[in-house]
A and B are shown apart, each in its own frame.
Chain A
Amino acid sequence: MSFYKRYRDIFLVILLLAVPFFFLRTAISRPEDLNAVDRALTTIASPIQFAASAAARTVSGVLSDYFAWVDVGKDNDRLSREVTRLENEVRRLASLEGENERLRKLLGLRESLGIQTASAVVTTKAPTEFFRVAHLAVDAPGTELKKNMPVIALGGVVGLLKVVTGDTATVQLVVDAGFGVDVVVSRTRARGFARGIGDEARYIVRVQDVDRTDDVEVGDLLVTSGAGCRFPKDIAVAKVTEVVKRDFGSYQEVLAQPTVDFSRLEEVLIITGEPRDCEATPRK
């Protein structure tokens, strides 16, 4: 390597370092000032840059779409959970609204009775069909409950308390075979004695001792007679579903369906006071 060539290269390196360094100050303060070569190079590079950028944008778009879909999936999961939560909330509020309505009506019933009552809620039903009973919990703790206290609901007669344990009680339902209540046909005041038949398949009562000459039709409403001072008068018990009149015998056979829907029974009233204007002695 000749002396000239060696120092030429070093000079070139120094020049390549020095020129940009001295121009740098101006370039930083006025970055828009480009020389002719810079502008030419920019012009040449621009279309290539544009094409490369467009290609990259396409790839980036695919990636963005993918991540967006991932986000959509996450949003979908979150919204699904939110919808489920809100649906549960709506169901809960609808249930509360229904309960509120029932309680409002129950309060009206209590006031219309004009006797001392205690409200209670049905906690459980009988686990078997052998016994048509329901378990109650009294709303007001400390209420004095006694065996055979009548239990009514909005629909009508529910049954009688059979077992009392503190603030809970077991009620024997109208449809239980051991239950009986004196009733009259609301339309004709024809009298009878409603008794549960214990049918495992149906909630039905049989009305006994209905005179065969009495006017009873399907659809007639049976209400309590008030006899025996247990149930207040004119509380709905059942609706007649079948009337069998025979040519012989003194009575006709009447089957009726309780007016209370036991499958949906939630709130009840326990009659703790003695009904007014009751007939002290049952009918003959």
Chain B
Amino acid sequence: MRSAAYVLVGFLLVLLQSILYRFWAPLVPLQPFGFPLSRLTLGITPNLVLPLVLFLAVQEPSLARGSLLSFCLGWGIDVIGGGPAYLYRFTMVAVWWFTRMVSARVSMQTLASRIPLAFVGSLLESFIVLTLLAIFGPDAQRPVELSVQVLPRAITTTLFAPLIFSLAARIQLESRPQASSQTS
């Protein structure tokens, strides 16, 4: 039940992520004081699923469930996002794995500690994606061009992260009583 909720929320977040650009699309043609706002909007679409994966890495005790959920969420990004297949399936599992390794050593139970995690996680996700594109992609220059989006993406992902963390925590909290009642 909890896994289904995570997957459903994850897919909704991917959908939301895929239409977010429309909200700042009206800003793109504007040039207040001669400064093109398109420069500021470049790469600001956050990865809304990433905080969910990070939450799973920190909070989900089951290796199998965490990795499978991350895989499914990456799948959603691959399919709905329209990028190369398997790119985010691999990336999300890799980020989940890396975060789980780190969280085993560093306390990440509070929201304040998870926010920097979202920033680092986003940088790591972008690094993995661009590296894979550089290795397997037909155009080696493209990852270099895309690299300017890494920082804005990390910043906006970090800004949205508390919201996603709260949502994930809510799912976890809602599913806990059921689990306890079943075991009792």
B23 and A63 form a contact (CB under 8 A): yes
For chain B, the count of residues having a C-beta within 8 Å of the partner chain is: 40
Chain A contact residues, CB within 8 Å of chain B: 8-10, 12-13, 16-17, 19-21, 23-25, 27-29, 31, 33-35, 38, 41-42, 45, 48-49, 52-53, 55-57, 59-60, 63-64, 66-67, 71
A27 and B64 form a contact (CB under 8 A): no
Which residue of B25, B26, B87 has the most chain A CB atoms within 10 A of its CB atom? B26
Give every chain B residue within 8 A of A31 (Cβ-Cβ): 83-85
Interface of B is mostly: helix
28 contacts between A and B (CB under 8 A): A8-B64, A9-B62, A12-B67, A13-B63, A13-B64, A13-B67, A13-B97, A16-B70, A16-B93, A17-B90, A19-B86, A20-B74, A20-B90, A24-B84, A25-B136, A27-B86, A34-B85, A41-B75, A42-B79, A42-B80, A45-B15, A49-B15, A52-B15, A53-B18, A59-B22, A64-B25, A66-B26, A67-B26
A16–B86 Cα distance when bound, in Å, is 10
In whole Å, how far is B11's beta carbon from the nearest beta carbon of chain A? 7
B90 and A27 form a contact (CB under 8 A): no
A17 and B85 form a contact (CB under 8 A): no
Give every chain A residue within 8 A of B97 (Cβ-Cβ): 13, 17
A59–B24 Cα distance when bound, in Å, is 10
Q: Which of B127-146 contact A (CB under 8 A)?
A: 132-133, 136-138
A17 and B27 form a contact (CB under 8 A): no
In whole Å, how far is B1's beta carbon from the nearest beta carbon of chain A? 20
The listed residue (B22, B68, B94, B136) touching A17 by CB distance below 8 A is B94
A10 and B26 form a contact (CB under 8 A): no
The listed residue (A8, A21, A53) touching B90 by CB distance below 8 A is A21
B25 and A60 form a contact (CB under 8 A): yes
- Assuming the contacts A48-B15, A59-B23, A64-B25, asked whether A27 and B63 have C-beta atoms less than 8 A apart, the reply is no
Question: Which chain B residue lies CB-closest to A55?
Answer: B19
In whole Å, how far is B27's beta carbon from the nearest beta carbon of chain A? 7
A29–B139 Cα distance when bound, in Å, is 11
CB-defined interface of B141-171 with A at 8 Å, one 1/0 digit per residue? Answer: 0000000000000000000000000000000
A57–B20 Cα distance when bound, in Å, is 10
* Cβ of B71 under 8 Å from chain A: yes
A67 and B30 form a contact (CB under 8 A): yes
Question: Which chain B residue lies CB-closest to A68?
Answer: B26
A97–B110 Cα distance when bound, in Å, is 81
Taking A28-B133, A28-B137 as known contacts, 13 extra A-B pairs with beta carbons closer than 8 A to each other, sorted by chain A number, are A8-B64, A24-B84, A24-B86, A24-B136, A28-B87, A31-B85, A38-B85, A45-B79, A49-B15, A49-B80, A53-B19, A63-B23, A64-B26
A19–B90 Cα distance when bound, in Å, is 8
A49–B138 Cα distance when bound, in Å, is 29
A48–B11 Cα distance when bound, in Å, is 10
Give every chain B residue within 8 A of A67 (Cβ-Cβ): 26-27, 30
B79 and A38 form a contact (CB under 8 A): yes
- Assuming the contacts A31-B84, A41-B75, asked whether A60 and B133 have C-beta atoms less than 8 A apart, the reply is no
* Cβ of B114 under 8 Å from chain A: no
- Assuming the contacts A16-B71, A63-B26, asked whether A27 and B80 have C-beta atoms less than 8 A apart, the reply is no
Give every chain B residue within 8 A of A60 (Cβ-Cβ): 22-23, 25-26
In whole Å, how far is B80's beta carbon from the nearest beta carbon of chain A? 5
A55–B23 Cα distance when bound, in Å, is 11
Question: Which chain B residue lies CB-closest to A60?
Answer: B22
A24 and B16 form a contact (CB under 8 A): no
A27 and B85 form a contact (CB under 8 A): yes
A52 and B90 form a contact (CB under 8 A): no
In whole Å, how far is B62's beta carbon from the nearest beta carbon of chain A? 8
A53–B15 Cα distance when bound, in Å, is 8
Give every chain B residue within 8 A of A29 (Cβ-Cβ): 136, 138
CB-defined interface of B55-70 with A at 8 Å, one 1/0 digit per residue? Answer: 0000000111001101
Give every chain B residue within 8 A of A48 (Cβ-Cβ): 15
Question: Which chain B residue lies CB-closest to A70?
Answer: B30
In whole Å, how far is B131's beta carbon from the nearest beta carbon of chain A? 11
A66–B30 Cα distance when bound, in Å, is 12
